[in-house]
Amino acid sequence: MRRLKLTLARSLTGLLAVTGLLASSAATPAVAASPPSSPASSAVAPPGAPGAPGGSGSAPTVSFKGAAFDTCNAPSLADMRAWRSSPYRAIGIYYAGRGRHCPVQRNLNKNWVTQVHAMGWQVLPVFLGSQAPCVVAQNKKGVPIGSRPVQQGRTEAGQAVEQARALGMLAGSALYLDLEAYDVHNASCARTTLDFVRAWNKEVRGRGYLPGFYSSADSGVRQIEQARVAGKSDMPAAIWFARWHTGPALYQEAALHKDAWQHRRIHQYAGDAAETHGGRRLVVDRNQVDAPVARIG
């Protein structure tokens, strides 16, 4: 997510331009507890049906609507206090997974999650594990999905849930699987990747958590939407798509049907933007959110 640089040339002018959009769109964030609902539009699955986000007896979810940022390393508690003066009210954290660019998270532990949540922040947990065999980024080629994608997906889903629990994230939390841009035109690779994602989703959902999915709009997200339209089961409950150099446009994304994943979308629309709030400078990616987040306990 932080290293998605396929065609994303940095433009300071463009990043400054979207700051105004961010402030206006995030002025009144909303957080609400809600039961799971289906992300699909043309073929809505009833609760408990195969591929539906939840069913009877499933844990409640917490939804957030507003502005969020993510950054490679979880910021210090002092940074998070200072950034309460920003328009952001949610943060994406790379809490687990062998593919993380910043695997040593010195600040991130259960106490950090508890204290940040007590400050009023919502948390978007990101699991960056194995990547598509045809991943574009050179620094992700060393952690490929192997020849047994279903088993690997289940195993990594178990890791995602256990690490979330260790950080105090309760059942019903949304956990977002991060797959960086890959060659969706490589049929074998795309098939392997989809098998992995569906197995990960199924296992996460079976353990009482909500499976989310992050990728570039033109690769992973496009493939997941095609799978949804084709009627595939075990789809993500929420979609986090990257399309940079635009303003926030949750429901105008060309790769997604306008009615799909209603209130279960995140748009990452800018990256590697240096911002200072409360005297503290961070380099962040900018997101607009209308989606489930972690339940902190």
36-78 per-position pLDDT tens digit: 333 333 333 322 233 334 433 478 999 999 999 999 999 999 9
Q: How far apart are the C-alpha atoms of 297 and 254, rounded to whole Å?
A: 37
Q: How far apart are the C-alpha atoms of 126 and 96, rounded to whole Å?
A: 7
pLDDT beyond 80 at 255: yes
List all residues 6 or more positions away from 209 whose beta carbon is below 8 Å from its beta carbon: 160, 161, 164, 171, 172, 173, 174, 175
Q: What predicted TM-score, i.e. pTM, was given to this entire model?
A: 0.86
pLDDT beyond 60 at 90: yes
Binned at pLDDT 50, 70 and 90, residue 297 comes out as confident
Contact 124, 289 (CB under 8 A): yes
H helices present in the chain, as ranges: 12-25, 77-82, 110-118, 149-166, 187-206, 220-229
> Which pLDDT belongs to residue 57?
46
> Which pLDDT belongs to residue 50?
31
> Which pLDDT belongs to residue 24?
35
The full DSSP string for 166-203 is HTTBPTT-EEEEE---B-TT-HHHHHHHHHHHHHHHHH
Contact 244, 10 (CB under 8 A): no
Mean pLDDT score, 117-133: 98
